[in-house]
């Protein structure tokens, strides 16, 4: 297992030969471009806004995504995540939804490299508030107690603020997490026939259904109510 790279902000090096990359928007842009997912930026509400370039925004959910940071080295991942967390928590740069989901995936898999920044946010934030940096909940997948906290937060985080939590659940294989998420999907779809349409959460449901069926995590009989709900929803969307 490779050792964690040194803090890029400290000017350390990943080795005696290769200096650790400097956390910057230029690095973020270069790696995304390397993966054929260019970024765009503009000024919005007196702040810089960064997101995937127009035409590269995927549908909500994880199926079929091309990852903007799929081939990053450990040192690059550490630098990108440090840059992102610093600006998200300070609100000095605004990151669009699609780019944030790509960064959330990177955080879920490499959060150990920015533990000093991530841990205080995860432990001190009121996740019942829409003002929270909810996408950072993806980092739960990289923490020792992430599974237990994800189970708790599925009852707390409000609708349309759960994308980071869904990303964490995607990378947390613990069965209690998957069981809790399945139960919540059943609860949400049963209580509101139009659930998830305006927020994109219905897209997450479809992605998890495909994941659970492909990996045989739950029986088809157990998933049947959700599969039927998803089919009805998509049929209704196709009707004039």
Whether 93 and 42 share a structural domain? yes
Tens of pLDDT along 201-229? 999 999 999 999 999 999 999 999 999 99
Q: Which residue has the higher pLDDT, 3 or 104?
A: 104
Mean pLDDT of 26-40: 88
Whether 106 and 14 share a structural domain? yes
Whether 181 and 86 share a structural domain? no
Query: Containing domain of residue 107, as a range?
Result: 8-172
Mean pLDDT of 130-153: 95
The domain boundary, picked from 149, 172, 195, lies at 172
| β-pair partners for 49 | 42, 94
Q: Is 102 inside a domain boundary? A: yes
Whether 182 and 235 share a structural domain? yes
Q: How many domains does the chain have?
A: 2
pLDDT at position 136: 97
* pLDDT, the chain, mean: 85
Whether 181 and 127 share a structural domain? no
Whether 148 and 187 share a structural domain? no
Q: Is 13 inside a domain boundary? A: yes
The domain boundary, picked from 172, 196, 228, lies at 172
Q: Is 2 inside a domain boundary? A: no
Mean pLDDT of 126-151: 95
Mean pLDDT of 50-79: 76
The domain boundary, picked from 143, 172, 201, lies at 172
């Amino acid at each position: 297992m490779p050792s964690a790279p040194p803090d890029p902000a400290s000017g350390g090096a990943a080795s005696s030969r290769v200096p650790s990359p400097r956390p910057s928007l230029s690095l973020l842009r270069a790696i995304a471009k390397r993966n054929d997912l260019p970024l765009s930026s503009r000024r919005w509400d007196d702040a810089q806004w960064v997101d995937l370039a127009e035409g590269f925004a995927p549908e909500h959910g994880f199926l079929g995504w091309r990852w903007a940071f799929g081939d990053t080295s450990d040192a690059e991942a550490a630098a990108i995540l440090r840059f992102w967390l610093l600006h998200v928590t300070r609100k000095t740069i605004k990151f669009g939804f699609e780019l944030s989901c790509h960064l959330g995936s990177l955080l879920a898999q490499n959060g150990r490299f920015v533990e000093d920044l991530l841990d205080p946010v995860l432990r001190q934030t009121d996740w019942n508030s829409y003002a929270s940096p909810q996408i950072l909940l993806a980092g739960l997948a990289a923490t020792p107690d992430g599974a237990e906290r994800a189970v708790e937060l599925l009852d707390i985080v409000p609708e349309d603020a759960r994308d980071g939590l869904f990303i964490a659940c995607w990378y947390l294989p613990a069965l209690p997490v998957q069981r809790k998420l399945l139960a919540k999907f059943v609860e949400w779809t049963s209580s509101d026939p139009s659930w998830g349409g305006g927020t994109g959460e219905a897209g997450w449901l479809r992605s998890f259904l495909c994941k659970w069926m492909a990996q045989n995590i739950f029986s088809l009989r157990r998933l049947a109510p959700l599969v039927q709900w998803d089919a009805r929803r998509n049929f209704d969307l196709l009707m004039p």
